[in-house]
A = this chain, B = another copy of it.
Amino acid sequence: MTAFADRLVDAVRRTGSPLCVGLDPFPDKIPALFGDARHDARALQNFGAEIIDIAAKYAAVLKPQLGLFEPYGPEGVAAALELTALARTKGMMVILDAKRGDIGTTAEGYARATLGAAPGFDADCVTVNPYMGKDTLEPFLAIAEAQNKGVCVLVRTSNPGAGDLQDLDVNGSPLWKRTAEMIAPITSRLKGQSGWSGLMIVAGATYPQEARVLRQTLPDALFLVPGYGAQGAAAADAVAGFVPGKHGREGGVVSSSRAITYPPAAQNAATLADWRLTIREAIAASVAELQSACAQ
């Protein structure tokens, strides 16, 4: 089986699309066409299946936001599991946005539960929080190596308060850079033949200058870039940490969720056909914008 990093890079090159479709099931935003999302996890599943059906034609990667499935209890988790499997059946890769973080056997439990080594999720990659240190990462790396999967570490997140801890000055460098330096010696663990590593990092689109610094610290890590679209970052900022390749700028995927899964016109779509058309147009427009930014 091919290394996760190679599969991701190949898929992005093949589709020409660095878009990662964020699947964030907001109960208040899912149209009534799909059921009562406030009370019924089946509405999430109906909505997610339709998004995946369209997304698979335009994007290589899906990112389900697990925190929005879990409030539905085990039925919500089961819906997320089935949508993860569905996306992979349709040829997409899945980065499960679970932001897990623990140590030892517990971290191993989360890794097994998300990366296909147990009856839980069989995602291609899972997001992980580094606050507990390298102990957190090791069990995820070990399972990822065994399963040919990836691990994506929160380094520089895109939220307004990200700097509360991440910007603190550690002997002249911000904490986010120190976190990247902690990871630098171990990206080789998940490196593929493409030269890219499946030890990904989150590098928010809202901080393009910092993405360039992170690229210097981590030349081979694939970036997962949130913050593009509804969170306000432009396409050019989103790909600031990408580097020139044969097929244009590359080095990760750019995530968008609200802008492409809940465009205003889709909220009031009278029919499923109308909704599909609106979603298709929104996704296609984001792909075109990112492609253009990568061609610069």
Contacts and interface: CB of A to CB of B under 8 A. Distances in A.
Interface of A: 24, 26, 65, 67-78, 81, 97, 99-107, 109-110, 112-114, 117-120, 129-136, 154, 157, 159-166, 168-171, 175, 178-179, 182
Contacts of A101: 99, 101, 129, 131
A274 to B, nearest CB: 26
B166 A169 contact: no
Contact of A67 (B106, B161, B175): B106
12 contacts: A67-B100, A67-B110, A69-B109, A74-B77, A76-B120, A97-B106, A101-B101, A129-B129, A131-B165, A133-B159, A134-B161, A168-B178
B159 A119 contact: no
Given A129-B131, A154-B132, A169-B170, A70 B178 contact: no
Contacts of A113: 67, 70-71, 73, 76
A161 B175 contact: no
Contact of A182 (B77, B129, B164): B164
Contacts of A118: 71-73
Q: Is the interface of A mostly helix, strand, loop or mixed?
A: helix
A162 B132 contact: yes
Total identical chains: 2
Which of A97, A99, A160, A169 gathers the greatest number of chain B CB atoms within 10 Å?
Answer: A99
A77, A81, A97, A104: which has the most chain B beta carbons within 10 Å? A77
Given A100-B99, A101-B101, A154-B132, A67 B165 contact: no
Contacts of A159: 103-104, 132-133, 135
A71 B109 contact: yes
Contacts of A170: 168-170, 175
A175 to B, nearest CB: 7
B163 A133 contact: yes
A157 to B, nearest CB: 5
A80 to B, nearest CB: 10
B171 A169 contact: yes
A230 to B, nearest CB: 11
A81 B70 CA distance: 12
B133 A165 contact: yes
